[in-house]
Structure 1
Amino acid sequence: MTEDEVLTEFRASGALLEGHFRLSSGLHSAYYLQCARVLMNAERAGTLARALVQTLPRDLRASIDKVVSPAMGGLIIGHEVGRALDKDAMFLERPSGTFELRRGFTLAKGEKVLMVEDVVTTGLSSREAIAAVRDAGAQVIAEAALVDRSGGTVDLGVPFYPLISLNFPTYPEDALPPELAARPLEQPGSRKQ
């Protein structure tokens, strides 16, 4: 899929929002990608997952043992990437603020994991999820995401393969442009700020 085709899917599903948003990173933006909306249609989610898998080098795809995603955002796309790769997919949860495997999910020592996210902005959640997989004894060999919002600057410590890269401006709370500050603040993400 081309970047325009991917954005068309986001627009068609009402997943590209405009307003004043506080992102999970704490930064503010006039744009928000509500990936849950683009993924609520199973056909669309599958199409995006197959396109995401095609961004991965063939030798990397062949070496993946499991797909792991942080809940909530990465859960659906991670499951669909697992389907596209014909690999088991599981997810990490934060019942007490730290990512962990639950629900009987386990990773064998040395298993090679593809981490899958919906959107990466600062990479904090991804790095925490990668550390949780490492603590479980497995090895994250790469991360894939629908969207890289970092402007290409994120360092996850592993190779990173986004389907698209978007560079919407973001601002710290104390440096909001007047036109953004004048809009009502929304927090549509899954994490409380």
Structure 2
Amino acid sequence: MTGDEILEEFRNAGALLEGHFILSSGLRSPLFLQKMRIFEDPVRTGRICGALALKIRESFGEVDIVVSPAIGGIIPGYETARALGCKAVFVEREEGEFQLRRSFEIPEGARVVMVEDIVTTGLSSRECIAAIRRHPGNLVGAACIVDRSNGTADIGVPLVSLLQLDVPAYPADQLPPELAAIPPVKPGSRVPA
């Protein structure tokens, strides 16, 4: 799938929102991608994650385990792993830090890819990658559906995406006047940093 086709999937799902949004990072943006509108449709999710699996295979070769951050990365991680024919596990916060729980393991020699839904600043990706690196597997790279950083987020490993966007994000005290004139909305699940 091309980037334009991915953007059209978001439009068709009603997942491309315009206004004044508070992102998980605490930054403000005039555009929000409500990914859960994508993930509520298993057929659409399978189509998108199948395309992500192809990109992963082209970039990193065969994969044994997909690891995703809870909660937002669980569905795309699982669906991408299904398309890759490998295991899917996730990390979740324990005492404020991502950990593998539920008896999940990353055995020595396993080829691992971290899969995210959307990368903006790369914070949750870096935290997930730090958790993966505490295990003996071989982290070969990372993938996401949408890279809102337009390729500028440094997550510490190669990152492939289906769509790169150049969407401005501003600190709350540096809003352009047109954005400051709109009341902010916090549509995501994570409390801003």
Query: What TM-score comes out, normalization by structure 2 length?
Result: 0.94
Ranges in structure 2 where 5+ consecutive residues have no aligned partner? none
Residue in structure 2 matched with residue 139 of structure 1 by the alignment: 138
3-state SS of 1:155 partner: coil
Which AA in structure 1 matches 2:81? G
Question: Residues 59-138 of structure 1: matches in 2 within 5 Å?
Answer: 60-62=60-62, 64-138=63-137
Using the alignment, how far apart are the partners of 2:123 and 2:134 within structure 1? 16
Equivalents in 2 of 1:42, 1:24: separation in Å?
25
Contact kept? 2:53, 2:81, Cα under 8 Å = no
Partner of 1:15: 15
Q: Judging changes above 3 Å, is the alpha-carbon distance between structure 1 residues 106 and 163 closer, same or farther for their aligned structure 2 residues?
A: same
| Alpha-carbon shift at residue 156 of structure 1 (Å) | 1.6
3-state secondary structure, aligned to 1:36: helix
Moved over 4 A (4+): none
SS in 2 for 1:30: strand
Q: What's the offset of the Cα at 1:177?
A: 0.8
SS of residue in 2 equivalent to 1:184? coil
1:29 aligns to 2:29 (yes or no): yes
SS in 2 for 1:99: strand
* Matching residue of 1:159: 158
Q: Report the Cα offset of residue 105 of structure 1.
A: 1.1
- CA drift of 1:52 comes to 1.0
Partner of 2:53: 53
Shift of 1:59: 6.8
- 1:98 is aligned with what amino acid? E
Segment drifting more, 11-20 vs 49-58:
49-58
SS in 1 for 2:94: coil
Distance 2:57 2:50 in 1: 13
Contact kept, 8 Å, 2:19 with 2:30, in 1: the verdict is yes
Amino acid at match of 2:89: M
Count, aligned residues: 192
| Residues 174, 59 of structure 1: alpha-carbon distance in 2 compared, 3 angstrom cutoff | closer
Aligned-pair CA distance for 1:111: 2.0
Pair 1:76–1:14, CA change in 2 (3 A): same
Cα displacement string for residues 116-145 of structure 1 (whole angstroms, at most 9, x for unaligned residues) = 000001111101100101113323211010
Percent of residue pairs identical: 53
**3-state SS of the aligned residue for 1:168?**
coil
Query: Structure 1: 5+ residue runs without aligned partners?
Result: none
Q: Counterpart of 2:76 in 1: which secondary structure? A: helix
CA RMSD of aligned residues (A): 1.3
Q: Distance in 2 between matches of 1:171 and 1:58?
A: 34
Quote how far apart the aligned CAs of 1:14 are.
1.1
Whole-Å separation in 1 of the counterparts to 2:100 and 2:61: 23
Judge conservation of contact 1:68–1:91 (CA < 8 Å) in 2: yes
Amino acid at match of 2:37: R
State the distance in 2 between where 1:120 and 1:60 align.
19
Cα distance between partner residues in 2 of 1:111 and 1:187: 38
